[in-house]
């Protein structure tokens, strides 16, 4: 059996697994990020609804098992990605980078101007990853109830 990574569009059938991948991936942040990540409130039904009404999701499979995913949404002339998730056992193997490349490829396919994301200020390692891939800070914002920025918005121009 091949050990290659396969990237594909998620379907409604994948929603329970995508919700589980997001939960497993974000678990390391439980009790560490304030406010708590919205990822903890994701459900299979919510994911299925997003897949039906939003711009979709991309999943990464290895040997028939989903090891990562990313949710997509159109914002103006950019493709926004969120909930970038890789199960702990598959980390350090380039899955996140491949998912981000797939998002960028999808944005190019749609002839969009760029790709956007949001990252918590507290997650410096994640910021370094996105910066290394060509993303630049475009703004900062505060989560509801906070009087100081808690998140950085980043963007990569594609044209």
Across residues 122-131, what is the average pLDDT? 94
Tell how far CA 130 is from the center of its chain: 11
Q: Which residue has the tokens 């390391």?
A: 28
Q: What is the structure's pLDDT at 34?
A: 87
Q: What is the rounded average pLDDT of the residues 118-143? A: 96
| Neighbouring residues of 48: CB distance < 8 A, sequence distance ≥ 6 | 12, 15
Check if the beta carbon of residue 73 is closer than 8 Å to that of residue 80.
yes
Q: What is the mean pLDDT of the chain?
A: 94
Domain around 110:
5-157
In tens, the pLDDT along 32-71 reads 888 889 899 999 999 999 998 877 999 999 998 999 999 9
End-to-end CA distance of the chain: 39
Q: Is the pLDDT of residue 1 over 80?
A: no
Question: What's the total number of domains in the chain?
Answer: 1
Contact 119, 136 (CB under 8 A): no
Q: Is 148 in contact with 137 (CB distance < 8 Å)?
A: no
The per-residue pLDDT for 5 is 94
CA angle 5, 9, 13 (to 5 degrees): 105
> 24: domain CATH number?
3.40.630.30
The model's pTM is: 0.93
């Amino acid at each position: 059996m091949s050990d290659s990574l396969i990237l594909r569009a998620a379907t409604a059938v994948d929603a329970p697994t995508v919700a589980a991948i997001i939960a497993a991936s974000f678990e390391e942040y439980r009790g560490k990020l304030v406010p708590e990540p919205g990822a903890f409130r994701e459900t299979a039904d919510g994911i299925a609804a997003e897949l039906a009404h939003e711009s979709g999701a991309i999943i990464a499979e290895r040997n028939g098992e989903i090891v990562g995913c990313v949710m997509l949404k159109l914002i103006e002339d950019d493709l926004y990605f969120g909930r970038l998730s890789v199960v702990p056992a598959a980390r350090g193997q380039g899955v996140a980078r491949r998912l981000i490349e797939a998002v960028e490829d999808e944005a190019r396919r749609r002839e969009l101007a760029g790709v956007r994301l949001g990252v918590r200020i507290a997650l410096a390692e994640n910021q370094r990853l996105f910066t290394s891939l060509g993303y630049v800070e475009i703004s900062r914002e505060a989560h509801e109830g906070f009087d100081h920025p808690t998140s950085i918005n980043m963007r990569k121009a594609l044209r």
